[in-house]
Amino acid sequence: MFLLTSPDVRPLRSDAVRNREQLLLVATRVLATDGTETSMRAIAREAGVGIGTLYRHFPTREALVEAVYSDQVDRLTTGAQELLAQHSPAIALRAWMDLYGEWIAAKSGMLDTLLAMVESGDLGHAQTREKILEAISTILRAGATRGDLRSDVTAIEVSASLIGIFTVSKQAGGALRTDRLLDILLDGLRPTR
């Protein structure tokens, strides 16, 4: 097996890139809704590829879970910059909160596998936390500079608030609307005039 950094590795063909992206998209959705009980064969079928294609990209369930997790973290970190390029910081933050919610949903469906990977050292939890905090900080700094967001709020505080909102709204079983709670949080992050 070649390492990704090996000079002998050829870039993936465009169809292989599409297949990998489709597998990640389907696996993210399926793992978020059905958890890790879903068979690899079912994921491949729903992605419209053969089981051999799935195993070429992800030789084990753990490899697939790690790829989904990493893809979601990358979406969060790059999403902050992309959203800021398109929207004011306050609107970008609110849209980023939705991305964070998608990550939480995907992560909860893979929780047992992720915890086992963290315990075995196969998944670096600390690096993920730092990347997420930096994404939040990027938006908060832009918002403070523009005057859209308070300058006295930290990324750790926003992260803790988001974790609380998503945890409580899940436990309430639909009795609380997550989008409303996120809107209330955003209102609290705006400077008072």
Question: Is residue 3 pLDDT above 70, yes or no?
Answer: no
List the CATH number of the domain containing 144.
1.10.357.10
Q: Is residue 51 part of a domain?
A: yes
Listed range (48-57, 72-81, 115-124) with the worst mean pLDDT? 115-124
Judgement on whether residues 16 and 82 belong to the same structural domain of the protein: no
Q: What is the pLDDT of residues 58-102, one digit of tens each?
A: 998 888 888 888 888 888 899 999 999 999 999 999 999 999 888
Same domain for 87 and 54: no
Residue 8 — very low, low, confident or very high, per pLDDT cuts 50/70/90? low
Residue 69 burial (CB count, 10 A): 21
Could you tell me if residue 95 is inside a domain? yes
Do 75 and 162 belong together in one domain?
yes
Q: Are residues 98 and 182 in the same domain?
A: yes
CATH of the domain at 17: 1.10.10.60
Residues 51 and 73 in one domain: no
Mean pLDDT of all residues belonging to the chain: 85
Q: Is residue 123 scored above 70 in pLDDT?
A: no
User: Is 5 part of any domain?
Assistant: no
Q: What is the pLDDT of residue 6?
A: 45
pTM of the model: 0.76
Give yes or no for a contact between 54 and 30, defined as CB atoms under 8 angstroms apart: no
Residues 93-106 pLDDT 10s: 999 999 988 888 77
Shared-domain flag, residues 54 and 76: no
Distance, in Å, from the CA atom of 16 to the CA atom of 12, rounded to the nearest integer, reads 6
Residue 38 in any domain: the answer is: yes
Q: Return phi, psi of residue 190, to 5°.
A: -80, 145
Cα–Cα dist 134/132, whole Å? 5
Looking at the fold, whether 118 and 185 belong to one and the same domain comes out as yes
Q: Where is pLDDT greater, at 17 or 158?
A: 158
Residues 139 and 72 in one domain: yes
Give the range of the structural domain holding residue 26, as residue numbers without chain letter: 12-59
